[in-house]
Structure 1
Amino acid sequence: MPFPTHLLTKDEDLVLDLRPHWWYLAPAGALLAVVTLVALAALRTSWWGPLDWAILLLFLGALGFFGFTYLQWTTTNFVVTNERLVSRKGVISKEGIEIPLDRINTVFFNQSIFERIIGAGDLGIESAGEGGRQEFTDIRKPNLVQNEIYRQVESLEDRRLRRLGQAAAEAAPATPAEPQLSIPEQIEKLDQLRRQGVVTDEEFEAKKRELLDRM
């Protein structure tokens, strides 16, 4: 079943929601297949003896074991959001691990040759805190998951830097406005520009009259 969205915080986005690789079901599935073949062979006999009953019980046990393993598979989530990494599992009672992205130091993955062929592997997370290193098994395409975790860690750091920059800009005192020149000072400034040839005598006189009219 998917990770419950009501467990996400207000600004949290779900990036990855993975169940274990199908190889997680392989041992229970192989046992059920073998016992099923044995049971079918036993049914070919014309009589039903104690051994047949034992095979039937074994088949029911293998079927129950596969069913329970499948329930475990459907109720196990490996989740990556834009803020944290979460691992949850449990059919009736739940247990889980939560690692904030800003506490993740290193992400490792390990694959055997066979696991590389089927696209499965193990993931190791080293984080700051009491947990140290956490191991997660039967992860689908662990190398791609590793890359995605690093991308989200970098994205989280970028968002925090932008928020810090915005907060610093809002907290910085406003640049004081330049003091307003008085009308005599403005006329003197215009006269300097006239002497420098920046404005003509006519422009100077017109602006001077305009300023004097304001007094």
Structure 2
Amino acid sequence: MAYPQKLLNRGEHINLDLHPHWVVFVKPGSVVIVLIAVAIWAQQLSDGWLKTGVSRVLLVAIGLGLVNLVSVFLRWSRTYFVVTSQRVIFREGVLARRGIEIPLERVNNVNFAQSILERMLGAGDLLIESASEEGQQLFGDIRNPEQVQNIIHEAIHE
């Protein structure tokens, strides 16, 4: 789902529109997969109250894991990192919303950081320093942060 055009200023165009990196799904997805594997293993137990109890607990845990995975997906789908011709925009939240806007003319510095694993996956953090009250904004789980850094620099010098 793309960033809504109706929220742009007159004459403003989008240079980059990103959702967080897919790595945000790894932890909740892994939990569900492990719980399903344990549930399959638990079916090998001999019949009786232990098998029934373990199965019920695992079904509840799998259900909660799936609810968590869906909530992560909803947050992911409603989180935007956008670079336009005038500003950097960050919006997140499903019910309660939070937004950050940094005009390009106020951006002083753009830095990125990636661990070895993040580098292999193409994810990382972006730190934007600006001439504002907050000064620094850290954006996590950005796809290809080095490329995003370059796009921001290009937008500043347009």
Match of 1:30, as an amino acid?
S
What's the TM-score once normalised by structure 2's chain length?
0.94
Quick one: distance in 2 between partners of 1:121 and 1:21? Answer: 9
- For residues 114 and 95 of structure 1, what CA distance do their matches in structure 2 show? 29
Deviates more, 1:142-151 or 1:86-95: 86-95
Distance 1:51 1:42 in 2: 7
Q: Per-residue deviation at 1:39?
A: 1.5
Equivalences for residues 159-198 of structure 1 within 5 A: none
- Distance in 2, matches of 1:102 and 1:117, equals 32
- The answer to whether the aligner puts 1:107 opposite 2:129 as a matched pair is no
Pairwise CA distance, 1:43: 3.1
Matched, 1:51 2:54: yes
- Aligned partner of residue 61 in structure 2, secondary structure: helix
Distance in 1 between residues matched to 2:136 and 2:98, nearest whole Å: 17
Q: What is the SS of the residue equivalent to 1:49? A: helix
2:134 counterpart SS class: coil
Percent sequence identity over matched residues? 43
SS at match of 2:9: coil
Give the equivalent residue in structure 2 for 1:39: 39
1:64 & 1:43 partners in 2: Cα distance?
Answer: 23
- Aligned match of 2:29: 29
Structure 1: runs of 5+ lacking an equivalent: 156-215
Other structure's SS at 1:107 match: strand
Note the C-alpha offset of 1:103.
0.3
For the residues of structure 2 that align with 1:14 and 1:23, how far apart are their CA atoms? 24
> Comparing both structures, which one devotes a greater share of its residues to strand?
2
> Where does 1:10-89 land on structure 2 (aligned, <5 Å)?
10-45=10-45, 47=47, 48-89=51-92
What's the RMSD between the two structures over aligned residues?
A: 1.1
Q: Hey, what does 1:93 align to over in structure 2? A: 96
> What is the match of residue 147 of structure 1?
150
Report the alpha carbon displacement of residue 105 of structure 1 after superposing the two structures with TM. Answer: 0.1
Residues 140-189 of structure 1: per-residue CA shift (max 9 Å, x gap): 0000000000000011xxxxxxxxxxxxxxxxxxxxxxxxxxxxxxxxxx
Larger Rg: 1
3-state SS of paired residue (2:157): helix
| TM, length-normalised to structure 1 | 0.70
User: 1:78 aligns to what SS in structure 2?
Assistant: strand
For residues 25 and 76 of structure 2, what CA distance do their matches in structure 1 show? 7
**Residue 93 (structure 1) shift:** 2.1
- Structure 2 residue runs of 5 or longer lacking an equivalent are none
SS in 1 for 2:132: coil
* Shift in Å, 1:136: 0.3
The alignment of Structure 1 onto Structure 2 pairs a total of residues equal to 155
